[in-house]
Amino acid sequence: MRNVILTPEEIGINIKLARKRKGLSQSEFADAIGKSVRTVQKYESGDINMPLEVLNKITNELDVSLEDLLSEEQPGTNIDTFADIFSAIFELENAQGIKLEIEEVPVSDSRKVLAMYCDAMEYDFQYNKTFSDFLKEFRFYRESRENGTIPEDIYQAWVKKTLIAADELSVKSKDHS
């Protein structure tokens, strides 16, 4: 990992993600570090810089290291094995409001692939359009990064922004009892 000084906005994103992973509201977090909710909002948006002593309070409250807040690592699950991939697919299958389809799709006269997709027009599943729109945007950013039309930092900024926006949409597991 290379050592890079992040912008206040990027540090704020990392703080917000760590706070949400710990299950704290902005109000609870503000109380815990002795700051106002408005100050926490400014920290998370990158509007104000934090002194080192405040960063230390934040890392203690969120149970993260200073490196965790200042690093470029992306939040999420490590995928090291096929079991991790399969587990993610099983979780998607259980998500309320999303209906995934799997279909064999011809890509040439002699070749077919299996594709997993959601139908944005499936009105019984309220999040299918959101998921479909994300996949289109993901394809655009991934292809743009791969062909060099956007730099890696723009791609990573899009990833972080997308994760924060998506964090506001709650998808609960279906009850299978």
Within-domain flag for 1: no
The pairs formed by 121-124 with CB atoms below 8 angstroms and a separation of 24 or more are 124/99
Specify whether 157 is located in the same domain as 94: yes
Specify whether 113 is located in the same domain as 158: yes
172 vs 32, higher pLDDT: 32
C-alpha–C-alpha distance, residues 134 and 120, integer Å: 11
pLDDT tens-digit profile of 65-121?
Answer: 888 787 665 445 667 888 888 888 888 888 778 888 889 999 999 999 999 888 888
Within-domain flag for 31: yes
Kindly report the CA angle at 17 between 16 and 22, in degrees rounded to 5? 100
Specify whether 105 is located in the same domain as 46: no
Q: Looking at 70, 95, 120, which one is the last position of a domain?
A: 70
pLDDT tens-digit profile of 133-157?
Answer: 899 999 999 999 999 999 988 998 8
Reported confidence tier of residue 38, pLDDT bands at 50, 70, 90: very high
Residue 135 belongs to what domain range? 82-167
Specify whether 145 is located in the same domain as 109: yes
**CATH number of the domain to which 36 belongs:** 1.10.260.40
The closest alpha carbon to 43, from 16, 21, 62, belongs to 16
Could you give the C-alpha distances from 36 to 24, 46, 47, 71, 113, in angstroms and in order?
A: 14, 15, 14, 26, 54
Specify whether 51 is located in the same domain as 15: yes
Please give the model's pTM, rounded to 2 decimal places. Answer: 0.52
Specify whether 156 is located in the same domain as 100: yes
Within-domain flag for 75: no
Specify whether 93 is located in the same domain as 61: no
Could you give the C-alpha distances from 92 to 56, 85, 107, in angstroms and in order?
A: 36, 11, 25
Specify whether 20 is located in the same domain as 43: yes
